[in-house]
Amino acid sequence: MFFSLVVNVICKYSVTASARASASSGAQTCLIRIARELTRSLRTSSSFLRVSRTMTTGMEVQRCLMDSCVSEPQSTDSAITMLQLLANGKEHQDKQLCFSCNEQLVPTSNIVEHQSVFREGRGGSILHLKCQPCNKTVCVYVCGQWWSLREILHSNRMDRNGFQQVQTFTERVILHTLNRIVFREQEQDEDTVAVFLPTPAEEFAKLMWDEGEAVGFYTVKTKGKVYESSFHERYTMPVVDIIFVRKKGRGLGFGENLLKDMVSMFPVENFGFSHPVSPAMYQVLLRYLHSRPHMRDRIWVTTYTGDEGYRRNVWLLVRHLATNVDSTD
């Protein structure tokens, strides 16, 4: 870009420079004009490059939890402190907009709920601001600030794609938002009976990102982990426990990519899916196993720990279900 500008400017004035080459004053004047024109051109070029960089990013840099609050100790008491201030009548003055009903809300103690990111209920305190007219969570208080759901679920990194393991407290908040707010309050189908509880603090989980937006997640009960209601029984294989994909993220191959992700993590081990499995996931499993005969004896539907007597082979199960459907037609 720089060299092409130099060439264009010099060519523009080369004739003038040649014509005045006999007069030193004229040549000097020409060079001054060239320098001025080059300066203007470079300034225009710089402006163009700045605009181009803004356009290629796709959007302006937005405030988002993922990029602003890298981590926060689980023992943080910022949410507890805010809850105490609200209880004492010291309202947080920033109004928050409910996008469902356009209500402007000022956080007060009667519309703020204390929540824990973790099932154990210890540490990881956050606050939910609830809109009473529509009974939905508007924003979440974490890292000493209120964050809208969009600010929690989006990242300014448009190259953030695919599955990424949940490791930081901030990522746990994103998982919590998808699990306890988006699924529970916004996108749960009427015929869905699943109830996703908060995840344990050490639960293995991965978020699914699509161009910088968190659109889903899945959790895994790892092999050897103690079963929740038992003191000594342990999972005998890795088990996919919770799967959730936002409606906007469906049709992007989440199910098949999840299977490939599990195989990459457990290349030789059997693994399971916690019962009940959704009809959509059964379809994904059937397609996947139909084209991969070598995987048919490795994937199971499990209950309890997945031990003998608490698991059924997925391929045999779906074939059995398909046979029953055909016999009734």
Give the pLDDT confidence of 108-165 residue by residue, as tens digits: 999 999 999 988 767 788 999 999 888 899 999 998 899 999 999 999 999 999 999 9
| Lowest-confidence pick of 38-47, 91-100, 274-283, 300-309 | 38-47
The whole domain housing 29 covers 2-56
Mean pLDDT score, 19-38: 47
pLDDT(93) > 70: no
pTM flag (> 0.75): yes
pLDDT score for 251: 87
Distances (CA, A) of 256 to 237, 253, 284, 294: 20, 6, 6, 16
pLDDT score for 56: 35
Q: CB neighbours (10 Å) of residue 80?
A: 12
Alpha-carbon distance 301 to 323, whole Å? 18
Tell me whether residue 156 is in a domain: no
Tell me whether residue 18 is in a domain: yes
Mean pLDDT score, 77-84: 86
C-alpha closest to that of 105 among 119, 87, 89, 92: 92
Tell me whether residue 36 is in a domain: yes
Residues 6+ apart with CB under 8 A from 287: 256
273: three-class secondary structure by DSSP: strand
Tell me whether residue 8 is in a domain: yes
Tell me whether residue 48 is in a domain: yes
pLDDT score for 50: 34
Domains in the chain, number: 1
Q: How confident is the model at residue 76 (pLDDT cuts 50, 70, 90)?
A: low
Tell me whether residue 16 is in a domain: yes
pLDDT score for 64: 93
The answer to whether the beta carbons of residues 154 and 62 sit under 8 Å apart is: yes
C-alpha closest to that of 216 among 285, 304, 280: 280
